[in-house]
Structure 1
Amino acid sequence: MGTNDFLEVLPEMVAFLRVAELGSFSAAARQLGMTPSAVSRRVKRLERVLRVQLMFRTTRQLRLTEPGLEAFARCSDLVRAAQETMQVADQYASSPRGTVRISAPKAFARHVLHPVISKFLEEFPEIDIQLLVVDRDVDPIRDGIDLVIRLTHEPPLGLAARRLMPVQPILCATSHYLNKTPKIEHPHDLVNHSCLYLGEKERDNRWFFKRGKETAEVVVHGRYVANHSELRLGGVLADLGIGCIPHFVAHETLASGAAERVLADWDFQAAYAGHAYILYPQTRFSIPKMRAVIDYLVEHIDASWQRF
């Protein structure tokens, strides 16, 4: 391939990169605004130009070949460099302006992020926010997102991270449910109750508690299992049992008296506890609009959501 020949296959490289990332020609086509057949033709053309097979295709899955893995890494670097080049002008802006794209989990976006963003937009009239609400791990480079909010125990390597707030799961139920069921004085009493848990993993119905030096492990059961916190809260309000809910989702319900905490004197150690972090490539903090959003979210979310 000649020195400048790669310019003719840049679209093919992008198509190959998206197929490799998403594992599907159809998914890549939707993201690129193309038909699956058009994406397939671009990948085949890239293979002809490179004179190697980049991926094995079956009816069920796609698998990269050894040359495909190398090409994937190179194409990823190329797209990352292109995205950073597009942001060069932003780094030299005299004041924060432009659009910042943020991704966040659905419940967190609704209960925590949205109220803060509303106030931010009032204070920074030259910055626009594009919010992607999605319950999956988003890669800021691959997905073209400026800032990613993730709830985790430890932020991933390779990205800058700022801590926003602790994420503490709690147990709650309605007084109507609690008044008609056996009294709960110890975590082991939960075996006699209907409990609402995530159900994503086999051990999600094993709940762990700690109070001082005392610990307890309980295998709970219930008739309604849901992997979304707002659905579990809805189940609690429907008197279906005792729900495991992040405190930021249950906060308003508890404040209104519609539900009450259960075993509040115990530390409920769920697998999905940790902190909310804002993640971004280190180089982006130098961009004024990014720095303005990051600093604002860190300051105002931490101040608004102290553990209760």
Structure 2
Amino acid sequence: MDRITAAQVFVQVVERGSMAAAADALDMSRATVTRYMAQMEAWSGARLLHRTTRRQSLTPAGEHALARCRQLLEIADDVALSPADDADPVRGLLRVACAQSLAQAVLMPVLAGFLRAHPAVAIDLRIDSRAVHLVEDGVDLAIRITNDLDPNIVARRLGACESVVCASPAYLAAHGTPQQVQELAHHHCLAYSYFGRSLWTFTDGQGRPDSVPVAGKLSANESQVLLEATRQGIGISLQPVYAVAADLASGVLQRLLPDWRPPVLGIHGLYVTRRQMSPALRALLDALAAGLQATAPRAPRRQAPAARS
């Protein structure tokens, strides 16, 4: 953990009277402030604050830590950073966490252009399907596809992720092609195992919702595995358009139920705070937002039948 940021958090908690007020002042999530305070007490080896339901007060160890933290922040403020006048302020190492399929299919073209534009930046891309803890894992930016963000997390919407239901020709030849969403309940559907028995939801052309519980012979916690299983004819899966666009174009997979649309999910960038954002992180977020909105594949819209003369 960054000790200077931890010191800033502690000073704000003391000066503003609560962790909630400090979180608002620093534009951090309350969970992040709580983790920084826990780490401060771990470093100090003692409790720093007495807390009751109405007020908080410093312990003797807290008074000593507060004085040292203020000294540290004064020293940090006095440090003059003097890059050359022509130096690019967008520099440094960025640690970015992302799922494999999104990184390969969507992020890499954007990151390649970003790195060419900013040669003083390096990116450590951490591929993992699990949700990381930004502070504990030392991650500057986590990219997630979801419509269910924790309200305590600082996030920026970068783009949209559309999905399609698809299967291989071999699977459809053996098991038939579903014509209505409720027929999916009788097929082998490949579910994301983090969610147990999956409920797939849809909206029809008139905006009417529908949902169907699905299950099958295989589930996995990695979307790339489910995609390969779909190609192998093991079952039907719900896939991001960016992951299957090439397979649909080549005929390796066939899109099913085109009149029914799964929810569009947001692609979000998660980070600790807006106020202390580095120029490099700000530039990367801008590049991702521009790149994802311009290039993210979209599911083709069903053409309305031509009117007869």
> 226, 235, 240: which one pairs with 2:229?
235
Contact 1:254 1:261 in 2 (8 A): yes
> 217, 220, 229: which one pairs with 1:226?
220
**Counterpart of 1:184 in 2: which secondary structure?**
coil
Identity across matched positions, percent: 29
Amino acid at match of 2:266: H
Distance 1:246 1:127, change over 3 A: same
Structure 2 match to 1:64: none
**CA–CA distance in 1 between the matches of 2:213 and 2:109?**
37
Listed as ranges, the gaps of 5+ residues in structure 2 are 1-33, 49-61, 300-309
More off after superposition, 210-219 vs 229-238: 210-219
> 255, 275, 289: which one pairs with 1:283?
275
Give the CA deviation at 1:250: 1.8
Structure 2 match to 1:302: 293
**CA–CA distance in 2 between the matches of 1:189 and 1:89?**
66
Structure 2 match to 1:54: none
Structure 1 match to 2:116: 122
Contact 1:229 1:249 in 2 (8 A): no
Structure 2 match to 1:254: 248
**CA–CA distance in 1 between the matches of 2:274 and 2:236?**
42
TM-score of the aligned structures, taking structure 2 as reference length = 0.66
Contact 2:191 2:197 in 1 (8 A): no
Structure 2 match to 1:207: 200
Structure 1 segments, 4+ long, off by >6 Å, are 42-45, 88-93
Distance 1:115 1:213, change over 3 A: closer
What is the root-mean-square deviation of aligned Cα atoms in Å? 3.9
Give the CA deviation at 1:238: 0.7
Q: How many residues align?
A: 244
Structure 2 match to 1:274: 265
Give the CA deviation at 1:100: 1.7
Amino acid at match of 1:144: G
**CA–CA distance in 2 between the matches of 1:282 and 1:232?**
36
Give the CA deviation at 1:262: 0.9
**Counterpart of 1:240 in 2: which secondary structure?**
coil
**Counterpart of 2:292 in 1: which secondary structure?**
helix
Contact 1:111 1:249 in 2 (8 A): yes
Note if 1:150 corresponds to 2:139.
no
**Counterpart of 1:209 in 2: which secondary structure?**
strand
**CA–CA distance in 1 between the matches of 2:226 and 2:202?**
20
**CA–CA distance in 2 between the matches of 1:123 and 1:284?**
23
Amino acid at match of 1:266: W
Structure 2 match to 1:39: none
Give the CA deviation at 1:138: 2.5
TM-score of the aligned structures, taking structure 1 as reference length = 0.66
Structure 2 match to 1:136: 130
Amino acid at match of 1:46: G
Structure 1 match to 2:104: 110
**Counterpart of 2:175 in 1: which secondary structure?**
coil
Deviations 1:162-197 (A, max 9, x none): 211212332111112112322321112223321111
Contact 1:90 1:288 in 2 (8 A): no
Structure 1 match to 2:6: none
Give the CA deviation at 1:160: 4.0
**CA–CA distance in 2 between the matches of 1:107 and 1:236?**
15
Contact 2:95 2:125 in 1 (8 A): yes
**CA–CA distance in 2 between the matches of 1:90 and 1:147?**
24
**CA–CA distance in 2 between the matches of 1:89 and 1:216?**
60
Give the CA deviation at 1:252: 2.5
Listed as ranges, the gaps of 5+ residues in structure 1 are 1-19, 22-27, 29-41, 52-70
Structure 2 match to 1:184: 178
Structure 1 match to 2:45: 46
Q: Within 5 A, what are the aligned runs for 1:6-155?
A: 46=45, 95=88, 96-155=90-149
**CA–CA distance in 1 between the matches of 2:109 and 2:131?**
22
